[in-house]
């Protein structure tokens, strides 16, 4: 099913009149989408920055070998 140019024009005109009639609702929708996108981008930036800081801190130690253990090195495991 394809729309004719006249049907597309009518749909756009109807949408614009709906936006004009409900200005406050349209504003709140745009505000909510903007806040959501901003929060998502902000959280992604923070996580990426923390990961980069951790890698830089480990790299600044000068060694390319890291040993991770569940127990302290002097713990008797028997």
Give 64's DSSP letter.
S
User: Would the pTM count as exceeding 0.75?
Assistant: no
Task: List pLDDT tens digits, range 25-74.
Answer: 999 999 999 999 999 999 999 999 999 998 888 788 776 666 777 777 67
Helices in 22-73 by DSSP H: which ranges?
23-59
Alpha-carbon span 73 to 42, nearest angstrom? 40
* Cβ contact 67:61 at 8 Å: no
């Amino acid at each position: 099913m394809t729309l004719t140019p006249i049907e597309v024009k009518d749909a756009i005109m109807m949408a614009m009149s709906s936006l004009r009639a409900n200005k406050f609702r349209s504003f709140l929708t745009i505000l909510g989408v903007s806040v959501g996108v901003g929060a998502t981008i902000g959280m992604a930036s923070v996580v990426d920055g923390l990961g980069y800081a951790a890698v830089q801190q480990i790299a600044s130690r000068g060694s390319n070998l890291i040993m991770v253990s569940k127990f302290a090195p002097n713990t008797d495991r028997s």
